[in-house]
Amino acid sequence: MHDRDIHTVVRILKQECTKWREPIVGVIANQSQDPFRILISCLLSLRTKDQTTAEASHRLFALASDPASILALPLHRLEQAIYPVGFYRTKAKQIRRLCQTLLDDFNGRVPDCLDQLLTLPGVGRKTANLVVTLGYRKPGICVDTHVHRICNRWGYIHTKTPNETEQALRQKLPRRYWIHFNDWLVPFGQNLCRPVSPLCSQCPIRPWCQRVGVTRSR
């Protein structure tokens, strides 16, 4: 894929995404525009299906929706609220540590700076970038498994890790696409450009895709 092709590809992606369900963190961001809720829902979503994340987030935020009120919950009550998200016991403890850090170091406010977000317990670059982009509408590139896989499959970049992908996209991807790039590629990767046997015969982006690493498709 040539650099100039990204504009055409993004235009197609935006149109295609209207057919599919928006990722749950994006839904929560649109509903609340609350960086704290976005941060917590991001943590809950790791290794968890969207529907489970949505239900767990709803239960938790009905009980507590800020760092102090979450810390006031007994640990077992917090675990019950977020069950059955993946690793719910570990995440419950992680959320409590995160909330304590927010109160101790940031006056209870979720920081809008990537470097500060990365100091929070359990927060990696994917989550930090989602909070920056969805919570504060500031430029950032959230790279999950879909973004990493698809951009390399297209031949738009050539990287080995998500962190390398983020840095490569910061160099190549036009800045006006940064905030929503993850929102477009996640449903695209879930529905068409799947990890194994992607649906290339149905893909409107195929003319621009080098299909790097694709050995079997439909």
138 belongs to the catalytic site = no
* Active-site entry in 126, 160, 172, 183: 126
pTM of the model: 0.88
93, burial (CB in 10 Å: exposed 0-12, middle 13-18, buried 19+): middle
Mean pLDDT, range 161-180, rounded to an integer? 96
Q: Which domains does the chain have, with CATH numbers?
A: 3-21+141-208 (1.10.1670.10), 33-136 (1.10.340.30)
* Active-site entry in 19, 105, 144, 160: 144
The answer to whether 78 and 95 are in contact (CB under 8 A) is yes
pLDDT in tens, 130-149: 999 999 999 999 999 999 99
126 belongs to the catalytic site = yes
pLDDT in tens, 76-85: 999 999 999 9
Q: How many percent of the chain have pLDDT more than 90?
A: 89
| Residue at token pair 């941060």 | 39
Mean pLDDT, range 104-124, rounded to an integer? 95
